[in-house]
Structure 1
Amino acid sequence: MLQKKGLIIAPLLLFFLLVAGCTQSQQGTPSQDQSDSNNKLNIVTTTTMITDLVRVVGGDVVEVQGLMGAGIDPHLYKASAGDVNRMRQADLIIYNGLHLEGKMADIFEEFEGTQVITVAITDAVDESILLPAEDEGNLYDPHIWFDVELWQKAAIYVRDALIEADEKNRAIYEANTEEYLQELEKLHAYVKEQVANIPKDQRVLVTAHDAFGYFGRAYDFEVLGLQGISTTTEAGIADMQALADLIAERKIPAIYIETSVPPRSIEALQKAVQAKGFYVAIGGELFSDAMGDSGTPEGTYLGMVRHNVDTIVEGLSK
């Protein structure tokens, strides 16, 4: 009797399991539209400037995860285990290069030759155009984004990298880039127009570290940094005193703090200049190695550059 009952229950149980399985399968399987919307190019970026650039060029067809946020110094940034895991799962890793992310260089090398594509945007710039990093041996200055025309080259380079990885969305990447290049052209013209308001002999930009070399070359500034190209170097007492002498002698009206570098070195420089009988103002904060908070004008490359040039012009025009 028990055997016969079991024979009856087993087929019924199998039937309900099959029905339940089919229902669950139908509910759990995304529609074709959902699959397409989730099938985005997965990109991991390092600095905030690169994250912004890739989002502009990629638009809605890419998923971008930026590792560094506002106020983060890429020279000192160490990748966490979570960062490395995100990079392993990415289709592309887009970083600055030229040792800007100095503590991550070994990680990028490990991904070379794997299915994860690594892209250094400084490869967009011909070596003959790069500025040497005088305090860093045979290396080059990585801060190319301060020359808007060089950032245009970076935009084109990112566009080409995205097309190579995702040909089906070529038209989107090309259209987004073309529109952005026009915005960058307007920005370049704006910077030149504003800088013209500063007398040429007053175009001396003093900051915490030597990040504005490309800005100086592009827009006719003398640029002086307490620290070298990398924030890992420290300014010595002799460097501080020499720069204080120069500021007092030339009566430079303002010096600048950087948002990603502690202000103590610039504040100490201000006191050193005052000790020589000249008052130099702190002209404000400049965004150097990181942009502003997300959701603010300075949280975009366009807004960051405008903020910087407006702040520089206001301080040095006095």
Structure 2
Amino acid sequence: MKKFIKFLFAMALFMGSAVGLASSVAAEDKPIVTVTTSFLGDMVSNLAGDFVTIEMIIPAGEDPHLYEPRPQDLQKLKEADLVLYHGLHFEGKMIEQLEPIGVAVSENFDPNEVGVMDDDGGMAVDPHFWFDLNLYQQATQRASEALIELMPDNEAAIVENTDNYVAQLKDLDKELEEKIASIPEESRFLITPHDAFNYFSRAYNIPVRAPQGVTTDSEVSNKDIDDTVDFIVENKIKAIFAESTTDPARMEKLKEACASKGFEVKVVSGEGQELFSDSLAPEGQDGDKFIEMCRHNVDLIVNNLK
């Protein structure tokens, strides 16, 4: 009996090792898709997650505008079978490494759709296109094309996944539009730390203001701060919002400046109470998927402005 039990134990170990080896071999056989951000990681997971190994450069929760590539990041780029990045200068400090080898999911956008008026009356490129779900659908289609080119044998499955995901994005667009429209027009103003929500403003008819420009790498002038404070006071805005990738102290300073003018405004911040702008939430937290992130943002806005 003891010999039989030992035999069964040995067989279990052998089978476990065999399964582990098979899983390892299968993982090694999958093409490596390296993406720059959590947005693209989630996108690829929805389109071809069963067929690829996904490597991400910029960890969720970090600011892509300011991210400095590390030696291990360059190794990920070197080993990738496909590199996907946002483009529109979002990965500003990595662009020299990305452009020669990667596919920008924004590369087919109409240039007239990705600009924002700068302080001098000219047009500046705004990289935060994911807040316009029509543009995000275009980016999804471009990523899908690149994945099909990499894995033509899986074309049918990737096309089906893409169609399903785009359908979800269309339904989400209608949902968000209805929720934002429920905010009374006189209260429908969004104040954020940096100018990341221009596309959101255009898509859902909600004026947006921020003391900093479209990149967190830009300077914040006293005039920009004063103009934002005046806008809050003049429009009697109930609440202003911190972002997950910026310092919430900036919004507290706006609150103090408003108070000095005799107006009290609430700062919406803290864990689970921040807007996601340049990154999804870390894995396992609310907002770690793109669709859930969009819902989180809009629910937070509506609950505090309605």
Q: TM-score range by the shorter chain?
A: 0.7 to 0.9
Could you say which residue in structure 1 is the equivalent of 2:198? 213
2: distance between equivalents of 1:83 and 1:58? Answer: 22
Question: Is residue 118 from structure 1 mapped to residue 102 from structure 2 by the alignment?
Answer: yes
Q: 1:139 to 1:91 in 2, by over 3 A?
A: farther
- 1:184-232: per-residue Cα shift (whole Å, max 9, x none)? 1121111011111111232211100000000000000111111000101
2: distance between equivalents of 1:273 and 1:153? Answer: 40
Which of 38, 50, 68 is the aligned partner of 2:40? 50
- Structure 2: which 5+ runs fail to align? 1-17
Provide the secondary structure at the position in 1 that maps to 2:279. coil
Shift of 1:236: 1.7
Shift of 1:157: 0.9
Could you say which residue in structure 2 is the equivalent of 1:59? 49
What is the correspondence of 1:70-149 to structure 2 with a 5 Å cutoff? 70-109=60-99, 112=100, 117-132=101-116, 134=118, 139-149=124-134
- 1:9-33: per-residue Cα shift (whole Å, max 9, x none)? xxxxxxxxxxxxxxxxxx9xx77x9
Question: Is residue 150 from structure 1 mapped to residue 139 from structure 2 by the alignment?
Answer: no
Aligned partner of 2:135: which letter? L
Provide the secondary structure at the position in 2 that maps to 1:297. coil
- 1:5-55: per-residue Cα shift (whole Å, max 9, x none)? xxxxxxxxxxxxxxxxxxxxxx9xx77x97565321211111111111111
2: distance between equivalents of 1:194 and 1:80? Answer: 41
Could you say which residue in structure 2 is the equivalent of 1:16? none
2: distance between equivalents of 1:124 and 1:301? Answer: 21
Provide the secondary structure at the position in 2 that maps to 1:177. helix
- 1:80-128: per-residue Cα shift (whole Å, max 9, x none)? 000001100101111111111111111123xx2xxxx411111142212
Could you say which residue in structure 2 is the equivalent of 1:227? 212
Shift of 1:132: 2.9
* Partners of 1:198 and 1:316 within 8 A in 2: yes
Could you say which residue in structure 1 is the equivalent of 2:180? 195
2: distance between equivalents of 1:241 and 1:71? Answer: 29
Could you say which residue in structure 1 is the equivalent of 2:10? none
Q: 1:34 to 1:293 in 2, by over 3 A?
A: closer
- Structure 1: which 5+ runs fail to align? 1-26
Provide the secondary structure at the position in 2 that maps to 1:298. coil
Aligned partner of 2:68: which letter? K
2: distance between equivalents of 1:281 and 1:212? Answer: 19
2: distance between equivalents of 1:181 and 1:128? Answer: 23
Shift of 1:147: 1.2
Provide the secondary structure at the position in 2 that maps to 1:60. coil
2: distance between equivalents of 1:36 and 1:133? Answer: 49
Which of 5, 29, 45 is the aligned partner of 1:39? 29
Aligned partner of 1:258: which letter? E
Could you say which residue in structure 2 is the equivalent of 1:300? 289
- 1:52-84: per-residue Cα shift (whole Å, max 9, x none)? 111111121011111122220000001100000
Question: Is residue 277 from structure 1 mapped to residue 267 from structure 2 by the alignment?
Answer: no
What do you get for the CA RMSD once the two structures are aligned? 1.9
Which of 169, 185, 192 is the aligned partner of 1:184? 169
* Partners of 2:33 and 2:80 within 8 A in 1: yes
Task: Tell me the percent identity.
Answer: 38
The TM-score with structure 2 as length reference comes to 0.87
User: Which ranges of 4 or more aligned residues in structure 1 deviate by more than 3 Å?
Assistant: 33-38, 135-139
2: distance between equivalents of 1:130 and 1:301? Answer: 20
Could you say which residue in structure 2 is the equivalent of 1:24? none
Give the number of the structure whose alpha-carbon radius of gyration is greater: 1
* Partners of 1:94 and 1:119 within 8 A in 2: yes
Could you say which residue in structure 2 is the equivalent of 1:11? none
Shift of 1:253: 0.7
Shift of 1:167: 0.6
2: distance between equivalents of 1:170 and 1:80? Answer: 34
